Every structure is written in C-alpha cells, then in structure tokens.
Amino acid sequence: MNKPGMEKNDLNDLLISVSENDDYAFRVFYDLYYRSVFRFAYYFLRNRKVCGEVVSNVFVAIWKSRVSLRRIGNVEAYLYVVARNESNRYLRECQAQRRCLSLEEIPVAVIDRNSPPHDADTPDSGLIESEIEELVGRLVNDLPERCRTVFLLNRQEGLSSREIAEVLSLSESTVRVQIKIAVDRIVAGIRKHYPDLKLVSLLMFLFSSRF
C-alpha cells in the first residue's frame, strides 16, 4: 500500500531520513500523506475545520515519535491509528467541555457512495439505501472497540489481515475472527430491520471480500 509513484525502498529511505531529524524529509512526508491523514480524521470528526486542527496534532505527534518511523511496517495503518487517537483525544476534550458528541455517537458511513445503485428500478431504493447506510453506521459504532477498529481498517482502509495484525500487534487469526464477528453482527442487524431485502446478500459479499 505504498503511495503512487513511490517505491517501497524510497519510502523506507524517506522514513529513515525523517527519523534522523531531516526537516526537508518531514516536509516531503507531510505533503505525501496530508490528504490521507485528513481523510482518516474526517472519517471520525465530519468537520473540515476541526480536521485541520487534528491533522496538525497528528503530524506533531508523528514528529515527536519520529525515531520509531524506521520500524513502521505499514505507514497507512500507522497513520490511521495516530489519526484515530488524536480524533479520540479531541472528542474527549470536547465532551468534557460539552461541546460535541463522543466518537461512539458519530455516524459511520460504510457503504460506498460511488458504487452503482442497487434495485434502481424501485422508486424507494435511494431512500432505503440511505436508511441502511445510517443503520450500518450505528451497527458499526455498537461494535466492541477492538472489533470496530479491525473492521474499519479492513473495510474502510483496505488493509489485509496481515497488515492489521502488524499495526495492532494481534495474530492474523484474531484479526480474521474480529472481522467475522463484525460482519455477522452487522448483517444480523440489517436482517432484523430488513428481513427480505436483497441488498443484504450484497453487503455480505462486500464485507467479506477482503478476508
């Protein structure tokens, strides 16, 4: 999952340079991953202005722990975890000041909006998909913490079981079990509300296709 146009060796060299206090290398790293970090943060916060603040905190945190960069096996997964931690920190501070919702109360969009519409000949299909997307978001947020993190890294960021296992210090078998638990709970939750909906079988395929 290297960035387009950058070979693995080049990325490794860049990370080593950053870990050795190279300011220019860090600026290159920042430019290379800013959009990804912003996307990760926006996924949790849903507020562009707030994301700008959190993204700055993410890169500050990365610079402070730059020595460890040379040991990072998957940069995208590492950035996801840092962005999530900083988003959590921001939300906890907001909650303490009663200025915003907790992370668990923020809806999570899992269905790809760019995918072709399903059952397009049904007049209410758009409304149904919107309702299902909202339902899936609630079901994802209701998952146990570790299960939710594994699921999001797999489904939203496209990380493999091996990559997730590395970044979260878990076994691959544990990761696969957590993904299966997430899929089973989400599908069961959808079936409870939409027992006859054909979209359920498609969701099962989408959720399990990266196992």
Q: What is the CATH number of the domain that holds 49?
A: 1.10.1740.10
Domain boundary among 42, 66, 100: 100
Structural domain boundaries enclosing 154: 143-210
Query: What is the pLDDT, as a whole number, of residue 105?
Result: 46
Phi, psi angles (nearest 5°) of residue 152: -70, -40
| Residue 107 included in any domain | no
Query: What is the pLDDT, as a whole number, of residue 132?
Result: 72
Number of domains, the chain: 2
| Residue 124 included in any domain | no
Kindly state whether residues 160 and 65 are assigned to the same domain. Answer: no
Q: Full-prediction pTM beyond 0.75?
A: no
8-17, 77-86, 109-118: segment of lowest average pLDDT: 109-118
Kindly state whether residues 14 and 65 are assigned to the same domain. Answer: yes
| Residue 62 included in any domain | yes
Rounded average pLDDT over 1-13: 69
| Residue 135 included in any domain | no
- Of the chain, the percentage scoring pLDDT greater than 70 comes to 74
Kindly state whether residues 28 and 87 are assigned to the same domain. Answer: yes
| Residue 130 included in any domain | no
Q: CB neighbours (10 Å) of residue 8? A: 8
| Residue 133 included in any domain | no
Domain boundary among 46, 69, 100: 100
Residue 200 scores a pLDDT above 80: no
Q: Are the CB atoms for 44 and 106 separated by under 8 Å?
A: yes
* CA 39 to centroid of chain Cα atoms: 9
Q: CB neighbours (10 Å) of residue 165? A: 19
DSSP secondary structure letters along the chain: -PPTT--HHHHHHHHHHHHTT-HHHHHHHHHHHHHHHHHHHHHHH--HHHHHHHHHHHHHHHHHTGGGGGG-S-HHHHHHHHHHHHHHHHHHHHHHTT-S--GGGS----S-TTSPPSSTTSTTHHHHHHHHHHHHHHHHHTS-HHHHHHHHHHHTT---HHHHHHHHT--HHHHHHHHHHHHHHHHHHHHHH-TT-THHHHHHHHHHTT-
Rounded average pLDDT over 200-206: 52
Query: What is the pLDDT, as a whole number, of residue 98?
Result: 57
Kindly state whether residues 149 and 95 are assigned to the same domain. Answer: no
Instruction: Give the type of residue at 137.
Output: G
Q: How confident is the model over 120-176, as pLDDT tens digits?
A: 444 455 556 677 777 887 888 888 888 988 888 888 777 889 888 877 788 999 999
Query: What is the pLDDT, as a whole number, of residue 115?
Result: 42
Is pLDDT larger for residue 202 or for residue 192? 192
Average pLDDT, the chain: 77
